[in-house]
Chain A
């Protein structure tokens, strides 16, 4: 069937400025640029990854949306029409990548942060200590000391130290390239934080970074062995993710080459299917069983995290997870990214992380169990201000996926599932993977966290506090703007203009 879909983007080349160096053609991994006596774009194949424009020495390329106007119709958006055409031509589920792009409200942008004046001094982070150190893990309700108060009697469950309350999100080797994984591991070690293997297992080249790695146990159990579990800082059971709550994952067989086969411990060329649920977890007590199976296998030396998507009943689910023995709960909001997901799920399922976090933190406090697990949140943490707001709402630390990819060069073109990523990130093709230099990418990630760390310290200083634990859960330092009362109640914050 011939496609009726017009080109989504137009590649505009200024032929006068063009040097005919052919760099654009060499760089494009989607076949959208050819050269016939001059640069000849094939607009229908352009997906706006900007690779050509970035490398053009004359800045002679601009990428614009194909300006095909329809007669104005608010309801039948161009995108909806295109999707119908695609489905009429294929009969298939529309696949996409990265996070929900739809204009749902962004609650981070409706919260403002307090500052100290007159009655309380702000603090100078450049000259006075401003502590971001965070420990993840289950904490006892109180401590016991011996009679002389000299020795601590309470045994504390294992804690993982973060020098900055920002952790790299789970992205599997398979979804992203090995070079990307290496960059994340190196940056995590250098910055005193963690990266997450995702569900694709742990490649031997980064096994030495164990103390900065979260190993994930997902429904497909790829690469999961006792050695894998112990080669880590902590173990995460992935129940769901924000981008695709409730469904599993699929890495097509043609992407399972030698290396992936080895890391995931499946034969070359087979599909890597992650089932929707863990088939040994059909109820909360099963989760508890799996958590303790992992604890036994790791001799109780590693905290166990459970990652869930933010859905309607997330507070009750989180409470159950904590009571099931998890040391950490990781909540992924509906804007979380993915390498591949059906568009219908990515764009329409799940709830915002701001509301989920507020609900979970409050619920755990009401039940008196907030100390039993640390809360990690992700699903579109875009900037340091979002981190500050998340911690004020109650998070122990934030998880960044999309932001780390963008730091490495990702342009969020949403075509990860094609495996043609021109930036060498979401691909396994060697000629493309080579484009991502792990050392440089690691530097970029470290720069990002360093910059955010300084920014968070600046905000803490203006809040008049010098330790992150004095911000954590202190909703009093946030005010809402332009939010209805019910939303303010869910977030547990007051509207701007109201004093203490």
Chain B
């Protein structure tokens, strides 16, 4: 299942209803299909939030297995570490362009109280995910959040979307990705999005600082098994926001901090903060070209690298926020827009669920 480092290309799209309205998967598929030529059919995927409302307090694990044996080993492990409420195959639809899928199964899990004496619930789940990915041969966690899921594989994204029957799911956040890897592996786990708990990341670009981002994360117990640089983004957000409790805007600052020459010209308090961020979090700086769309249960964040080497267009219409690699991908699903703009380098576009939404 493992394969050599695959750089991340090439098309991303995201859409969110800030009022929490649920929308089915056909819309996002249409958007990503519009950017067909940015991919080469070797990877596509989606993240969706709000799709399991009846089970919203349970962890929905989407699993991929190379073999029945991997499934059995994992399920034994699940019995030890979780209360397994439901397990069932992820509904799929055989589709041309999508071949050799692994075994795709999902589980709705709860963490037994007695496991949480010395560790928080989320740390516990995170450790379990790390353990499965690194220790169970042939098993891989595609997503591990509550009331959300990742649907991904080898194929053009529109084909993957149909394969997973995304028209049957309704979500208030959808993100999508189409890949253009430069190797030729047929590895379902290598497609985007990469997730941890309820963080998901789709990414266009290549992280040239990967070597040190990875070594930094390893100091905190994250295991980077997937040899795809995008992994670090999801884990960095988990570390900075959930564990270090940095406000989201500061986590973004860590990943895309301005140049020293601009920091030196800032107002004193801002300058102090930016200088401190670079001094302490220099190993989290993401270098190299990137556009990313990060999803989490309360919103969506789009971000470019500091010199905007990858494209990103953002747009709003009523309560909807859109982000995509190309404007035409947004126009395809929303021809009339209130606002359309190109976010500036290193400046995040942030969509947040209105406070009253559950």
Which stretch, A146-154, A204-212, A311-319, A346-354, touches the partner chain B?
Answer: A146-154
Question: Given A465-B208, A470-B287, do A499 and B219 touch, yes or no (CB 8 Å)?
Answer: no
Kindly state the separation between the CA atoms of A475 and B218 in the bound complex, as whole angstroms.
Answer: 14
Interface string of B290-315 (1 = CB under 8 A from A): 00000000000000001101000000
Kindly state the separation between the CA atoms of A156 and B215 in the bound complex, as whole angstroms.
Answer: 23
Q: Is the CB of B7 within 8 A of A470?
A: no
User: What residues on B are CB-neighbors of A392 within 8 Å?
Assistant: 211
Question: How far does the Cβ of B257 sit from chain A's closest Cβ, in whole Å?
Answer: 9
Question: Given A129-B259, A151-B269, do A119 and B206 touch, yes or no (CB 8 Å)?
Answer: yes
Q: Is the CB of B208 within 8 A of A145?
A: no
Q: Does A267 have its Cβ within 8 Å of any Cβ on chain B? A: no
For A140, give its contact among B218, B249, B280 (CB under 8 Å): B280
Question: Given A116-B208, A145-B246, A500-B5, do A474 and B288 touch, yes or no (CB 8 Å)?
Answer: no
Question: Given A370-B219, A500-B5, do A476 and B246 touch, yes or no (CB 8 Å)?
Answer: no
Question: Given A143-B276, A472-B283, do A466 and B307 touch, yes or no (CB 8 Å)?
Answer: yes
Question: How far does the Cβ of A474 sit from chain B's closest Cβ, in whole Å?
Answer: 3
Kindly state the separation between the CA atoms of A475 and B212 in the bound complex, as whole angstroms.
Answer: 7
Q: Does B62 have its Cβ within 8 Å of any Cβ on chain A? A: no
Q: Which single residue of chain B is at the shortest CB-CB distance from A477?
A: B211
Kindly state the separation between the CA atoms of A465 and B4 in the bound complex, as whole angstroms.
Answer: 21
- Which residues A335-383 have CB closer than 8 A to chain B? 365-366, 368, 370-371
Which stretch, A12-20, A29-37, A55-63, A131-139, touches the partner chain B?
Answer: A131-139
Q: Is the CB of A152 within 8 A of B182?
A: no
Q: Does A120 have its Cβ within 8 Å of any Cβ on chain B? A: yes
Kindly state the separation between the CA atoms of A392 and B9 in the bound complex, as whole angstroms.
Answer: 26
Q: Is the CB of A475 within 8 A of B211?
A: yes
Question: Given A465-B288, A470-B285, A500-B4, do A135 and B279 touch, yes or no (CB 8 Å)?
Answer: yes
Question: How far does the Cβ of A367 sit from chain B's closest Cβ, in whole Å?
Answer: 9
Kindly state the separation between the CA atoms of A315 and B260 in the bound complex, as whole angstroms.
Answer: 33
For A142, give its contact among B244, B269, B288, B309 (CB under 8 Å): B244
For B212, give its contact among A133, A137, A470 (CB under 8 Å): A470
- Which residues A142-195 have CB closer than 8 A to chain B? 142-145, 149-152, 154, 156, 159
User: What residues on B are CB-neighbors of A152 within 8 Å?
Assistant: 269, 272-273, 276
User: What residues on A are CB-neighbors of B245 within 8 Å?
Assistant: 142, 144
Kindly state the separation between the CA atoms of A140 and B5 in the bound complex, as whole angstroms.
Answer: 32
Q: Does A121 have its Cβ within 8 Å of any Cβ on chain B? A: yes
Q: Is the CB of A159 within 8 A of B307?
A: no
Kindly state the separation between the CA atoms of A156 and B276 in the bound complex, as whole angstroms.
Answer: 8
Q: Does B214 have its Cβ within 8 Å of any Cβ on chain A? A: yes
Q: Is the CB of B247 within 8 A of A149?
A: yes
User: What residues on A are CB-neighbors of B211 within 8 Å?
Assistant: 392, 473-477
Question: How far does the Cβ of A257 sit from chain B's closest Cβ, in whole Å?
Answer: 44
Question: How far does the Cβ of B100 sit from chain A's closest Cβ, in whole Å?
Answer: 23
- Which residues B193-223 have CB closer than 8 A to chain A? 205-206, 208-212, 214-216, 218-220
Q: Does A410 have its Cβ within 8 Å of any Cβ on chain B? A: no
Kindly state the separation between the CA atoms of A116 and B289 in the bound complex, as whole angstroms.
Answer: 12
Kindly state the separation between the CA atoms of A128 and B305 in the bound complex, as whole angstroms.
Answer: 14
Question: Given A470-B208, A473-B215, A476-B214, do A121 and B309 touch, yes or no (CB 8 Å)?
Answer: yes
Q: Is the CB of B280 within 8 A of A474?
A: no
- Which residues A456-482 have CB closer than 8 A to chain B? 463-467, 469-477
Kindly state the separation between the CA atoms of A368 and B214 in the bound complex, as whole angstroms.
Answer: 14
Q: Does A126 have its Cβ within 8 Å of any Cβ on chain B? A: no
- Can you name 4 extra interface pairs (CB under 8 A) apart from A137-B279, A149-B250? A135-B278, A154-B276, A368-B220, A470-B285
Measuring CB to CB, which residues of chain B are less than 8 angstroms from any residue of chain A? 4-5, 7, 9, 182, 205-206, 208-212, 214-216, 218-220, 227, 240, 244-247, 249-250, 259-261, 269, 272-273, 276-283, 285, 287-289, 306-307, 309
8 smallest beta-carbon distances between A and B, as pairs: A500-B5, A476-B211, A474-B211, A469-B282, A470-B209, A470-B287, A149-B247, A474-B212
19 contacts between A and B (CB under 8 A): A135-B279, A139-B280, A140-B280, A144-B245, A152-B269, A154-B276, A365-B219, A392-B211, A464-B287, A464-B288, A465-B287, A469-B285, A470-B209, A470-B285, A472-B282, A474-B215, A475-B211, A475-B215, A500-B210
